[in-house]
Structure 1
Amino acid sequence: MLECLPAVGRAELVDLSADRQRAENEILKMVWIYAISSLTSNYIYVGMTTDLEERIARHNNGREKTTKPYLPFELIFTESRENWIEGRKREKYWKSGVGKEQLRKLKTKK
């Protein structure tokens, strides 16, 4: 699909179909929903990713601003979903009060 985008005072035709295809492929990829627990404080973080190992390493290496103050972490929960849309629904559940309470119970069982 060609769209007209303004570029320095003139219109330019740009093919956006490749970008849209990449975006659709990302949405259709299998995703992991995960929960990590700080080993030093009472903090649980819930997230979603397509590369679980790399994402956990980023958290434990202090490369994520949100979790850096609570290092180090242990992985306490994972589940996978067929696509980004379904994964986001589950991530929102686990981030809710009810979901976090279940994660706290899971953590104490370990």
Structure 2
Amino acid sequence: MTNLAVQLADTVKSFGVKAVYGDPQDIEGTTFVPVALVAYGFGAGEGEGPDGEGAGGGGGGGGYTLPIGAYVGDSLGVRFQANPVALLAVGIPFVWVAGKALALVIKALKK
């Protein structure tokens, strides 16, 4: 089972840049390259069965993709246009954590 996890990890590792940057697309004279955040993971294990005899084993994996924007090339040049939904998905938790951390720092400084 462990060899399967290693083989899957090696296969996914070869995706590299192709998984993050899509193929260039052309719409009405404007060329763009989609950009995404990609994460994945795999795991496997072996152990004793529930009755203490025999080997039990299992494995699994998963991943996600978050489209964060696109590089757009037109008469204005090449620029990055962010996906507003992705910015909110990342920005809201970041602001919350930063606020909590700042509150703890201020509380510690007051003592």
**Relative contact order (alpha carbons < 8 A, sep ≥ 6): 1 or 2 greater?**
1
Larger Rg: 2
Same topology, TM > 0.5: no
Q: Give the TM bin, normalised by the shorter chain.
A: under 0.3
TM-score between the two structures when normalised by the length of structure 2: 0.23
Question: Would you tell me which structure has more helix in proportion to its own residues?
Answer: 1
